[in-house]
Structure 1
Amino acid sequence: MSILVLLSKRINSISQSLARRYSVLGAASSLTAPHSDRVGVMPPDPQSIVMTHDVEEFSARDGTRQPLLGVDRQPSTSYVRGEPWKDIDVEPMRYVDIPKILNTFVCAFANDPLYDYIEDSLKESKSRRGTRFYFQWWGRLASMTYAGQAYTVDNGEAVMFMRPPGRKRGLVERVLERISMAMATLGVSAEQQRRIEERYSKSKAAVEEAFGDRLDHMFQMAGLATHPDKQGRGYGKALMTLANAKADQLGVASYIKTSAGNVAFYESCGYVVVGRFTLGDDNPNWTRPPVALFILLRDSSAVAA
């Protein structure tokens, strides 16, 4: 374990040194989730939920803050009983949040069907599995932090990743993701590798079938997780409301891939199921029912409930 701890510190050091070289690290400004009592104009949808409380867009790359286009910047302090997510602060992810976020991911996905399918072929304890997951994601999380594509609640108790259309990864992001890719190969069995490739190929085919040429112009929800101890408080809804507002600001549709247990939540955020694929249905080594995964779409004209 001492080797793993040293390796963790080394990866963290590399991530921050790369970021310091190409960007300005500092405290992230707070974002407040949209309120329903003040609706401003956010083209092309005049009914889009918008940001209030003098909200500013934060750029993790250069540390500057710029106003969101079309946002009503007048303060609003309303609170709707039964909808606590409306007053939850959402913040850009920081490098110091990464350890807590990794723990959130490990705990949130401990019983996820997809995660279980990929990892089932390895006969190892959950603690060892979590440790390996921890190191695999260090570089990827640092890359998303650098790019400003991740947001959190309570410094990592809940986290969201998103990929806007048309943006190419820079050098720092590519280096950090290479680190993650290298770590992801540690301890991977041949059976696990086949399952990873199955997931990639089937997911790619299903997404392309669902969206075709639209895919390059769509906003991708790349991930969302809330620590089990914090679930039910509206953290996920607050993060999704921010994501919806950003997609509406760009005037583009959004999509996400998820397991069956999460479909109802995303439907409550304005998404609809448009595709489905299964894993394990043609794998003789998988003796349990196939794992169903769903593709959901939210058009830019939709508004989260």
Structure 2
Amino acid sequence: MRPISLMAKPILYFDHPTYRQDELDEKKLLEKYLAFDLSRACLIEEKVTVKKLRAKDISRAAKTYEAASVNDPITVYVRDTPDARNPKLTQKVEHLQYRLGLLQWTRKKIVLTVNHGQAVVCAPPAPNANKRKETDKQIERLIRLISSILVRIGYSKEQRKRLDEIQTKISSLVEESLGADALSMRVINSLATNPDFQRRGYGGALVDEVTRRADKERRSSYLISSNTANTEFYNSHGFFTLAETVVGDNNPSWKGAPIPMPLMVRIYGDQ
């Protein structure tokens, strides 16, 4: 559907050939302007509704992750290696990984969305509140196996090394900073908004829904941010930086600056 243009030239009464200056009714003109302004505000204001992601929206959600990650510092760090393979192959593998993860999250009903996949977040329960069935464990093992095969197909040796570095440092950061407390906390995982739909409150609505659930359970929340440019956004939703790790600092093949990854926490009861 073509979007409604609010910038079209308005019809001015004094453009009409039969208009006479002395007949201008300023009161009516003001009323019409206010009515137009109100209707414009109604068009601009969009009701943001958070829902569980449905299977039919997985493809769109996967594309959202792809689009949102293009300029993400961590994604750039993984992709920009001297031995990088065919970029199109890597992108196809990434797309399959996104779809695979979303399929699993949708099956477990732990992925939330706004506008049918235009903004997405994984919102699993706290680990100590999550009773996994044996079937879930078997499926997760299968998905990990498929994912590891995809990584070997689509990523070079150095890219795989950087992926391992990121995962290892994140695990260490959480363990050292939160310890056993992480088991009782909600985590905001893989938040993304399609760039074409940013600044509409989609991401904020998803964060607020996860923290609302955490508050209902009397739990704190945490997240790992892949981009310090988002720090102010998370601050506005009650998160503060507790600690951080850095990737690329000891990698001679990486020519860019070290990339910080903050661990941000929202304490239940502090709001």
- TM-score, normalising length from structure 2? 0.76
Q: Is the 8 A contact 2:61 2:118 kept in 1?
A: yes
Q: Aligned match of 1:241 in 163, 183, 208?
A: 208
- Offset, 1:169: 4.0
Which runs of no fewer than 5 residues in structure 2 stay unpaired? 1-41
Q: How big is each residue's C-alpha offset from its partner over 1:185-234, in whole Å with a ceiling of 9 and x where there is no partner?
A: 32222111211111111111111111112111111111100000000000
Q: Deviations over 1:127-160 (max 9, x none)?
A: 4432221012222111111111101111100001
1:162 is matched with: 123
Q: Percent identity?
A: 29
Q: Which of 160, 165, 189 in structure 2 is aligned with 1:222? A: 189
Find out whether 1:252 has 2:219 as its counterpart.
yes
What residue number does 1:120 align with? Answer: 80
Alignment partner of 1:139 out of 100, 110, 121: 100
Structure 1 position 88 matched with structure 2 position 56? no
1:59-96 deviations in whole A, cap 9, x for unaligned? Answer: xxxxxxxxxxxxxxxxxxxxxx9x968x3111101111
Task: Describe the SS at the equivalent of 2:242.
Answer: strand
Q: Which amino acid in the other structure matches residue 154 of structure 1?
A: N
**Structure having the larger proportion of residues in helix:** 2
Change (3 A) 1:125 1:266: farther
Take 2:77 and 2:269, find their aligned partners in 1: how far apart are those partners?
A: 35
Structure 1 residue 286 corresponds to structure 2 residue 254? yes
The aligned counterpart of 2:266 is 298
Which blocks of at least 5 consecutive residues in structure 1 are unaligned?
1-80
Q: 2: CA distance between counterparts of 1:151 and 1:176?
A: 20
Separation of aligned partners in 2, 1:97 and 1:178: 24
Q: Which runs of 4+ in 1 moved over 6 A?
A: none
**CA displacement at 1:184 relative to structure 2:** 2.8
Instruction: Give the counterpart of 1:111 among 66, 71, 75.
Output: 71
Alignment of 1:1-305 (within 5 A): 87-121=47-81, 123-124=84-85, 127-165=88-126, 166=128, 167-170=130-133, 171-172=135-136, 173-174=139-140, 175-258=142-225, 259-303=227-271
Letter matched to residue 208 of structure 1? E
What CA distance in whole angstroms lies between the structure 2 residues aligned with 1:181 and 1:300?
36
Distance 2:189 2:131 in 1: 15
**Given that residues 84 and 234 in structure 1 are in contact (C-alpha distance below 8 angstroms), is that contact kept between their aligned partners in structure 2?**
no
Give me the whole-angstrom Cα distance separating, in 1, the residues matched to 2:152 and 2:270.
Answer: 40
- Structure 2: how far apart are the matches of 1:123 and 1:131? 14
Structure 1 stretch displaced more, 242-251 or 183-192: 183-192
Q: CA offset at residue 267 of structure 1?
A: 0.8
Counterpart-to-counterpart distance in 1, 2:55 and 2:132: 18
Displacement, 1:168? 4.4
> Structure 1 residues 124, 188: closer, same or farther in 2, change over 3 A?
closer
- SS in structure 1 of the partner of residue 50 of structure 2: strand
Given that 2:84 and 2:155 are in contact with CA atoms closer than 8 Å, whether structure 1 keeps it comes out as no
Cα deviation digits, residues 24-78 of structure 1 (max 9, x gap): xxxxxxxxxxxxxxxxxxxxxxxxxxxxxxxxxxxxxxxxxxxxxxxxxxxxxxx
Closer, same or farther in 2 for the Cα pair 1:227/1:130, shift >3 Å?
same
Q: Distance in 2 between matches of 1:220 and 1:84?
A: 30
> How many pairs were matched up?
222
Aligned equivalents of 1:118 and 1:224: distance in 2?
A: 19
Q: Is the 8 Å Cα contact of residues 85 and 155 (structure 2) preserved in structure 1?
A: no
